Amino acid sequence: MSTSFSFRSILDNDFYKFTMQQGVIRLFPGAGAKYHLINRGQHSFPEGFEDHLRRAVGEMALLKLSTAEKQFLQVTCPYLDPVYLDFLEGYRYNPKEVRIRQEGDQLSVEVEGLWYRTILWEVPLMALICELFYQLTGAIRVSDDEVLGRTCKKIERYQDLGVTVADFGTRRRHSYDVHRLVLESLSDHGARSFIGTSNVHLAMLHQTRPIGTHAHEWFMFHAAKYGFKMANVMGLEHWVAVYRGDLGIALSDTYTTAVFFSQFDKMFSKLFDGVRHDSGDPVAFADQVIAHYEQMGIDPTTKTIIFSDGLNYEKVAVIADYCRDKIGMSFGIGTNLTNDVGPQAMNIVIKMTAAHPQDGIWTDVVKLSDEHGKYTGTEKMIALAKTILDIR
């Protein structure tokens, strides 16, 4: 079966990839990184999938930042400095950084190179894999009108809940076309709830706000460079050094939430606007966060939790009912918005597996989220991290 797919913009990526890239360029320009695909859903890839993916990855080298896109970033994101924007204008994807292999129906994707370059591959690679998978397996989706209608009903229900919602759905979207339709409907019907998207390209097209701060890999690299005990603290310190109070939502579950809050002292608690929930029981997490702020003498209602873990309306309704009047909240919704069009949503991730600090050695990295099924890394390194951090 033939495919028709190419990325439309170098900004068709999650915003936190660009914010982290600026931090890496400024602080760790000589660092290296490795990533690989994890097929959590045990999806079977059709014969020849690797060839189609390799061709699409090759086309990524043609992307470049346009003058209009650079101007959008200058106006919308003043914390992205001119030197970084000039760099991004000259940046080109290098397909040689990506290794793609297929054995039978199983796919292997690995990325390796300088961190400041390879950091942009994760999200578009996942979006490519998803869209090509649906094309090559002949999966049939609902009509464009149905996509628009479903999204309209969803955002109207969120408005009735009185909550704010952002689109976090780039990485596992059904396709670029579906994603654009979703943003069109959210923009047209979500005036009281829709606050932006993690996708910078679509934020520009729909004149909304790009949303994001940092991801797990920021702290995973810091563990490789400074050790597990210092990873959270140094990661937060360096984020503050780069952004000076902007982009103030901290990701809390790279090495479990309990470890994070034991290190999230009063300075960090006051300086950061809030935290993002990405694994584990969201209600239990809310209790932890509220208790932490109260212990620090901080009014929890002045802070915000961004919930972003596998959300749908039912989950959001439970969380909103529990958190209302206790702490600020907002919701980043991904797959349920951008891949709810008929075919089963794919369950894949691409994670950093090793980091090479400048003048250091390759070191395996791990993520120990609050949900054991989301642990990533080698068994040996996971056990070492749990021992050092006293995670039982």
**Last residue within a domain, chosen from 338, 356, 380:** 338
Q: Is 126 in the same domain as 188?
A: no
CATH number at residue 358: 3.20.140.10
The pLDDT value recorded for residue 5 is: 62
Q: Which residues contact 221 (CB under 8 A, 6 or more apart)?
A: 28, 31, 33, 115, 352, 355, 357, 365
- Name the DSSP letter for residue 216: H
Q: Is 84 in the same domain as 154?
A: no
Q: Is 259 in the same domain as 355?
A: no
Q: Going by DSSP bridges, is the β-strand pair 349-356/32-38 parallel, antiparallel, or unpaired?
A: antiparallel
The pLDDT value recorded for residue 371 is: 87
Q: Is 152 in the same domain as 130?
A: no
Are the CB atoms for 107 and 126 separated by under 8 Å?
Answer: no
Q: What is the Cα–Cα distance from 303 to 101, expressed in whole angstroms? A: 45
Tell me how many domains the chain contains.
2
Q: Helix (H, G, I), strand (E, B), or coil: what is residue 281? A: coil
Q: Is 332 in the same domain as 265?
A: yes
Q: Is 316 in the same domain as 358?
A: no
Classify residue 9: in a domain, yes or no: no
Classify residue 4: in a domain, yes or no: no
CA dihedral 112, 114, 120, 121 (to 10 degrees): -10
Are the CB atoms for 102 and 45 separated by under 8 Å?
Answer: yes
Instruction: Name the stretches of the chain with pLDDT < 70.
Output: 1-6
> Which residues is 32 bridged to in the sheet?
114, 356
Classify residue 156: in a domain, yes or no: yes
The pLDDT value recorded for residue 358 is: 87
Are the CB atoms for 217 and 278 separated by under 8 Å?
Answer: no
CA-based nearest residue to 303, from 280, 278, 333, 269: 269
Taking the model in full, what pTM does it have?
A: 0.97
Classify residue 10: in a domain, yes or no: no
Q: Is 354 in the same domain as 323?
A: no
The pLDDT value recorded for residue 354 is: 98
Question: What are the angstrom distances between the C-alpha of 357 and each of 18, 113, 170, 231, 267?
Answer: 20, 12, 29, 13, 27
Full domain range(s) for residue 151: 144-338
Q: Is 105 in the same domain as 131?
A: yes
Helix runs in 28-168, H state only: 49-59, 67-76, 82-90, 115-118, 122-136, 144-161
Classify residue 7: in a domain, yes or no: no
Q: Is 117 in the same domain as 184?
A: no
Classify residue 268: in a domain, yes or no: yes
Q: Is 170 in the same domain as 291?
A: yes
CA dihedral 222, 226, 231, 233 (to 10 degrees): -110
Scanning the structure block, which residue is given the tokens 């958190």? 323
Q: Helix (H, G, I), strand (E, B), or coil: what is residue 132? A: helix
Q: What is the Cα–Cα distance from 176 to 339, expressed in whole angstroms? A: 11
The pLDDT value recorded for residue 65 is: 98
